[in-house]
Amino acid sequence: MLKIAIIVPCYNEQEVLPNTVSKLSELTDKLAAEARISHDSFILFVDDGSRDDTWELIGRYAGEYDHVQGLKLAGNVGHQNALLAGLMTVKNEVDAAISIDADLQDDISVIPEMIDKCERGCDIVYGVRSARKTDTFFKRFTAEGFYKLMKLMGAKSVYNHADFRLMSARALEGLSQFKERNLFLRGIVPTIGYKSDCVYYERKERTAGESKYPLKKMLTFAFDGITSFSIKPMSFIMGAGVFLIICAIAFAIYAFHSYVTGNVVSGWTSIVLSLWFIGGLVLFSIGVVGQYVGKIYIEVKERPRYIIEERVDGK
């Protein structure tokens, strides 16, 4: 029987908390009663420096409900950091942790399936949206575009998976070895390794309160995701430079031809040629510098180079 913690980051979530607490604690009570999870499993609400009554509510619920606990961060550090704070807090206390958003847009009825898969040897179980019927066209378009862009940019990520996932204690231990400050959990988690699986669900609408990810935050988040995982944008710059230099060469042939046939204004050939050539050279050089900066970037992150899963001794 596994000891589970459900981690819920909350930022100004007073409208949704009453419902979230009752749904989640109903689920944990049920699972504990059925002996699917141990009785000391718990739900940890992480208050990410909310300015409303979120923390007061969490305090009250921790007194009222058996399995509810709270963790208050000193200030607002953002969804990803708040989530990490919760995960790292419980890392040595539980067998597995499940992270879920406070608005319960993700379907909690797949949690038992996640636990099953974990018991059968999966260290990471991703919650994946099978449909996005309830999202607005705009949200769906931007979100799916984002996953495709991530893939194009060479970052590892699970398609249509947000931060609803189960991680075993040793996967959490692996996660703790990633020291980077630009935190993009759904990119980091697949790089940890171990056996993983997915469970599928339909994403619901937010029942109360409003999204804490307006367009501007979403764009920053997407940019963060790409720049934390890939130095491909720099390779693109370098590629553009090479392309321009090739254009310059092609142009040189054309300009030479025009020059020979004599139908040019004087000075045109040299100006046009140097324009393309210098442009290409500048871009190429920036790209080369970028490659070095990219390498430095990867170095300073001090990511673990490997995580050992097990060792056997055949005695």
Residues in contact with ligand UDP by CB under 6 A are 9-11, 13, 48, 76, 78-79, 82, 101-103, 105, 211-213
**Shortest Å, Cβ 107 to ligand UDP:** 13
Tell which one of 103, 106, 107, 123 touches Mg ion (CB under 5 A).
103
Residue 105 within binding range of Mg ion, rule CB under 5 A = yes
Q: Rounded CA gap, 271 and 251, in Å?
A: 12
User: Taking the chain, what is the end-to-end CA distance rounded to the nearest angstrom?
Assistant: 30
Residue 47 within binding range of Mg ion, rule CB under 5 A = no
Give 310's Cβ-side CA count (13 Å radius).
5
**Shortest Å, Cβ 37 to ligand UDP:** 22
Tokens of 170: 């040793």
43 contact choice in ligand UDP, Mg ion, none (CB below 5 to 8 Å, kind-dependent): none
Spatial contact of 55 and 70, defined as CB atoms under 8 Å apart: yes
**Residue closer to Mg ion (CB basis): 213 or 236:** 213
**Shortest Å, Cβ 284 to ligand UDP:** 39
150 contact choice in Mg ion, ligand UDP, none (CB below 5 to 8 Å, kind-dependent): none
Burial of 236 (0-12, 13-18, 19+ CB in 10 A): middle
**Residue closer to Mg ion (CB basis): 49 or 209:** 209
Residue 80 within binding range of Mg ion, rule CB under 5 A = no
**Shortest Å, Cβ 238 to Mg ion:** 38
11 contact choice in Mg ion, ligand UDP, none (CB below 5 to 8 Å, kind-dependent): ligand UDP
**Shortest Å, Cβ 11 to ligand UDP:** 3
**Shortest Å, Cβ 50 to ligand UDP:** 8
212 contact choice in Mg ion, ligand UDP, none (CB below 5 to 8 Å, kind-dependent): ligand UDP
**Residue closer to Mg ion (CB basis): 164 or 276:** 164
123 contact choice in ligand UDP, Mg ion, none (CB below 5 to 8 Å, kind-dependent): none
28 contact choice in ligand UDP, Mg ion, none (CB below 5 to 8 Å, kind-dependent): none
**Shortest Å, Cβ 155 to ligand UDP:** 19
List own/partner pairs for 211-219 with CB under 8 A and 24 or more apart: 212/11, 212/12, 212/79, 213/79, 215/142, 218/142, 218/146
Binding site for Mg ion (CB under 5 A): 101, 103, 105
